[in-house]
Structure 1
Amino acid sequence: MKKLLWIAIATLVIVACTKEAPDYTVLSGKLENVSGLKEIRVRGAYDFSQVIEVKEDGTFADTLQPIKTGYYTLQIGRANLPMYLEQGDNLNVTVDISNSENPLSFSDGKAVAVNKYLADKNKASREKVAKLGGFQGIFGMEEDKFLETMKSMNEEETKRLDSTKNLPEKFIELEKKTIEYDYLYNLSLYPEYHAYVTKKEDYEAPESITKPLESLTYDNEKDYNEIGIYKQLVLSHFINRYYDDANDRDEVLNEVKGAGIESLKTDMARSLSQGLSLGAKDAKAEADRIKSLTSDEDVIKDVDKFLSSASELSEGKPSPKFTYPNINGKDVSLDDLKGKLVYIDVWATWCGPCKREIPFLKQLEKDYHNKAVHFVSISIDEKKNDWEKMVKDQDLKGIQLHAKEAWKSSLVQDYKINGIPRFILLDKEGNIITADAPRPSTDEIRTLLDEWLKK
């Protein structure tokens, strides 16, 4: 399932009647109920990002510059907390991430009222989503019920905004757009997520779901840079089209270039670079397409690094060696497996997509049981007991190994694995067939196994 991260946003520069507002904000505060954290980060639109040092007593203070009035995200460890900053403000915040209801408490600043509104809005949204049954409950609804629910939530958000006093006009203008884009974004998610939740593989959404999206344009640079949910809509639109039809990829990239949004090109390139596959036969061409989108040095560096890795892990190259203990504590090495094809599953007990592949992997093992294929599952669980329990409870077959170093294990590092499950197929001599093999749930893996079993 395509998954995309939420991006924090910023509004227009607020200009006074006689002079432009300062391009900075002073942010100070204190972290409570957390220790050992040496820094936090503020992210915002126009690719704003700044690290703030945290003192031993949990206090922090810094000048954020250059900055624009608008929405930001305060990143504290793994927590991403939304907030609103104004240019020229001196805002103080107390942060308690153990308080899930209200982790941010603001004082001494112009943006206090806006941040209280946002806290109330986010709390109400969480409660509403929980009441509806979360992700499964919302996207499991039939079309009419889903539309009714989304419209109701849209109306509730609008009423909350209209009834809240002392909010700046610029914020109100931005928030109205955000509420409308949020409604459209949820409609855009419905076809894929409904098909996933209801297991209707051939599901097609009716016009009542798709038609409202037809009026949406994807070339509004102002909204793209200032409204995070619009950025999500635009990116998901182009990324989904890019992956849905490999034959139209150049056409999609030309549309991205023609949209006239410079940051879109870089964001698109960054997103696509994260999806590059080491096992793809056209990896070089794919990388070149991505590099043509942007001049961003970090993105180009990442793509070049990928190309180097792809060369090292291309078909016919010797596989990196590994040795890990099996469920009985006996070490098993790659050299022990020579003479048969080796189909490797890198997984973990906490990984939902990994567990969804287990029934298909069991069936695949059963169907190829008497053939020259080793099925090797390598867990990267940090807790060995979790792995042992699942192997026994699920009666997992094949060769079950445990890499106790988890993400730091040699296999993960050598194969440049940044997401699981990852499947790898090796030939009978331990050479790479593909470093990113098809999953057990696909027909492609059977075709590939049959092809190489004949050699």
Structure 2
Amino acid sequence: MKKLPALLIITVCMAFISCSGPGTDRGDQIIVAGKIDGLDQGTISVRRDDVLATADIHPDGSFHLPFSYYANYYFQFRVADQGFWLYLDPGDSIYISAHIDDFSNTFSASGDKSVEAEFMVRKEPLDFGPEVQVMSAGLDEYFEKKNEFLTPLIELVNELEKQNNLDPDFLKLEKAYIELRSLQLDLNFPMSYRMRNNIDRDAPIDFPEEETKQRLESLDYSDPLLLRFGVFRNFANRKVHELRQQMMHGINPGEIGPDSSMIYTVLAADSLFVPEIRDFMIYDMLRANIGFSGPVGARRSVELFTSMNKNPYYTERLNEAMAQWDMLSPGSLVPDFTFTDIDGNSVRLSDLSGKLIYIDIWATWCGPCIAEHPHWDRLIEKYGDNDIAFLAISIDESPAPWEKMVREKEMKGYNWYAENAWQSEIATHFLIRGIPRFILLDRERRIIDPNAGRPSGNISELLDQHI
């Protein structure tokens, strides 16, 4: 959590607690309601992997946010510039209150999982800010700094254990989290230390790295409850990646298709984990891959996963993720979006009619984007006499750094700026969640490839087919 938004007062909300009496099946709906002082408008949202629901903040600061999920989970909420987490079960109703300007100190909760909610708000500032001091420590002080970081979290969990009416799964999770967090720090510190001190990544340092790797290997991957933690999922991902690399070793590169990596990811996860963990891990990786790259390279993987998946929720969400890309299928006409060129003029995609348009969505702060620039320049030199418009569109938060870089580097091709960054028309239309992103349009502004190859890759093959 960053700064934490308020969990709301119960006054007018008490009626919601009694909507479903004891023994009533409340299904998978969860209700979060309350009042945030200091706000008279705006929205509050809840997300797990994507946004699950949003609700309006009323003039008196109150809100009512129902949403559905199939299992107990840690859900992330955001209101104004505040973020907070709640641990909730299907069927729960909770009422929260706080002031938007002093969220963590004014937070209170009533209803289901109220003890857990107040714990989460107290835990947040202990869990992330102090980590910087641990990662910046020297070899001789690392374990002392780590203990200083973990001790308040351990004490908070010890307090939690004394509470009545506590969800047993939540207590089990929070105890496990301490061990997972400790292992995560021990795994990350050597790399951080080497980078800060310009030490080669393979050079030995006075740190128990082998012991740490053994702890990672001996981690119990059989408890699906631990999937609630990103750190556990990251550890599981490492195992999948390592096994996938072993499985693909020795395969002729000519036999590796665009979806081979994901196919072997599915197979690796299937051989490593119990079905519940396997299904979640594959779903999570497929969902992220589809969100970033689209469904073209994932369809066979999704079909393979669907044949083994036991949870219909995952299949439903993957189908939804793929359906989002329907409007980006080859042949679809792209709206005539408006941009600003380097001279401050208003320009549109239609200004490039009659040319193939190879688009680079980038930003000045993006290292991988900058790394593509020399390859971009070479492409322009190679195809200079052909009807191809090389269009670099910046989604920087403001135009100043973009203008500075374009002019200083004398960047080639068309250089345009999109207002509203990630929320710009082109970024939202093309479902852009990561950059650089390359797009190829035909001479009539219709999509050839919504996720085209990079200049450093084999994009020339596709360009040659269409010039």
Output the TM-score relative to the length of structure 1. Answer: 0.66
Matched, 1:236 2:237: yes
Aligned length: 413
Q: Per-residue deviation at 1:186?
A: 4.0
Aligned match of 1:6: none
Q: Which residue identity is paired with 2:39? A: V
Q: 1:357 aligns with which of 350, 369, 379?
A: 369
The answer as to 2:153 corresponding to 1:157 is: yes
Q: SS at the partner of 2:107?
A: strand
> C-alpha displacement at 1:406, in angstroms?
5.2
Match of 2:218 in 1: 215
Cα contact 2:295–2:322 (8 A) shared by 1? no
Q: Give distance in 2, aligned partners of 1:62 and 1:453.
A: 52
| Residue number in structure 1 paired with 2:124 | 122
Shift of 1:389: 4.8
User: What is the percentage of aligned positions where both structures have the same residue?
Assistant: 21
Q: Distance in 2 between matches of 1:63 and 1:343?
A: 43
The CA deviation at 1:338 is 6.0
C-alpha separation between the residues in 1 aligned to 2:379 and 2:264? 41
Structure 2 CA distance for aligned equivalents of residues 323 and 78 of structure 1: 29
Corresponding position: 1:37 with 2:38: no
**How far apart, in 2, do the equivalents of 1:243 and 1:64 lie?**
36
5+ long unaligned stretches in structure 2: 1-21, 249-258
| Matched residue, 1:76 | 79
1:305 aligns with 2:323: yes
2:15 equivalent in structure 1:
none
- Separation (CA, whole Å) in 1 of partners of 2:73 and 2:266: 30
Deviation at 1:177, TM superposition (A): 1.4
Letter in 1 for 2:220: T
CA distance in 2, matches of 1:121, 1:84: 13
Kindly indicate whether the alpha-carbon contact (under 8 Å) linking 2:240 and 2:268 is maintained by their aligned counterparts in 1: no
Letter of the 2:85 counterpart: P
Structure 2 partner of 1:399: 414
Deviation, structure 1 residue 142: 7.4
State how 1:5-404 maps to structure 2 within 5 Å: 29-37=34-42, 39-41=44-46, 54-60=57-63, 73-76=76-79, 79-83=82-86, 93-99=96-102, 102=104, 105-106=107-108, 117-132=119-134, 138=135, 149-150=145-146, 153-162=149-158, 166-168=162-164, 170=168, 172-187=171-186, 206-224=209-227, 227-229=228-230, 232-233=233-234, 236-237=237-238, 240=241, 249-250=262-263, 252-254=265-267, 256-257=269-270, 259-262=273-276, 265-266=279-280, 268-276=282-290, 282-292=297-307, 293=309, 295-296=312-313, 298-305=316-323, 308=326, 311-312=329-330, 324-328=339-343, 329=345, 331=347, 333=349, 336=352, 343-349=358-364, 352-353=365-366, 355-358=367-370, 360-365=371-376, 367=378, 370-373=381-384, 375-381=390-396, 383-384=398-399, 387-392=402-407, 395-404=410-419
Bigger Cα displacement from structure 2, 389-398 vs 119-128? 389-398
CA distance in 2, matches of 1:303, 1:28: 29
Structure 1 residue 198 displacement after superposition:
8.0
- Deviation, 1:236, is 3.1
Counterpart secondary structure, 1:232: helix
Please say if 1:419 is aligned against 2:434.
yes
| Alignment RMSD (CA, Å) | 5.2
- Give the C-alpha shift of residue 213 in structure 1: 0.3
| Structure 1 residue 125 displacement after superposition | 3.2
Residue type at the aligned position of 2:413: G
Q: Is the 8 A contact 2:76 2:86 kept in 1?
A: yes
The answer to whether the Cα contact below 8 Å between 1:287 and 1:307 also exists between their aligned partners in 2 is no
Cα distance change on mapping 1:239 and 1:410 into 2, 3 Å: farther
Deviations 1:51-105 (A, max 9, x none): 67754311246899999988654443564312466999986532234336x2651
Name the SS of the counterpart of 1:123 in structure 2. Answer: helix
Distance 2:260 2:439 in 1: 26
CA distance in 1, matches of 2:67, 2:338: 49
User: SS at the partner of 1:401?
Assistant: strand
Q: How far did residue 155 of structure 1 move?
A: 4.5
